Amino acid sequence: DAKTTQPTSMDCAEGRAANLPCNHSTISGNEYVYWYRQIHSQGPQYIIHGLKNNETNEMASLIITEDRKSSTLILPHATLRDTAVYYCIVRVGGGGSNYKLTFGKGTLLTVNP
């Protein structure tokens, strides 16, 4: 699986959009971009994923560049409860016997009042 690079930490004001970048310059054509988050002391939580098109769900939006070498997770109206470590993960989709997720250190997003 391709490696990812994320900033160690970011701050965001409550109510503003939080834009979390991720670099995955060695991504392969069959690899998806996944985002998870981990609120303090809890298990990781799935947020969103995509292959090459932009995606949106009730939690967030995912913008993937046309060359797929980077992506941005957008939380449109950040709240204090969004303070967490956000992980960008690249993995092969579809079949096969290995479905592991490789977690890096992620980005600590702190939402300030």
Residues forming the site for another protein (CB under 8 A): 32, 34, 41-46, 49, 87, 89, 91, 93-106
CB of 97 to another protein, least distance (A): 6
Q: Which is nearer to another protein, 14 or 55 (CB)?
A: 55
CB of 104 to another protein, least distance (A): 5
**Residues paired with 95 in a beta bridge:** none
CB of 36 to another protein, least distance (A): 8
Q: Which is nearer to another protein, 29 or 99 (CB)?
A: 99
Q: Which is nearer to another protein, 10 or 32 (CB)?
A: 32
Question: What does the alpha-carbon distance between residue 110 and residue 63 come to, in Å, rounded to a whole number?
Answer: 21
CB of 88 to another protein, least distance (A): 11
**Amino acid identity, residue 22?**
C
Q: Which is nearer to another protein, 70 or 106 (CB)?
A: 106
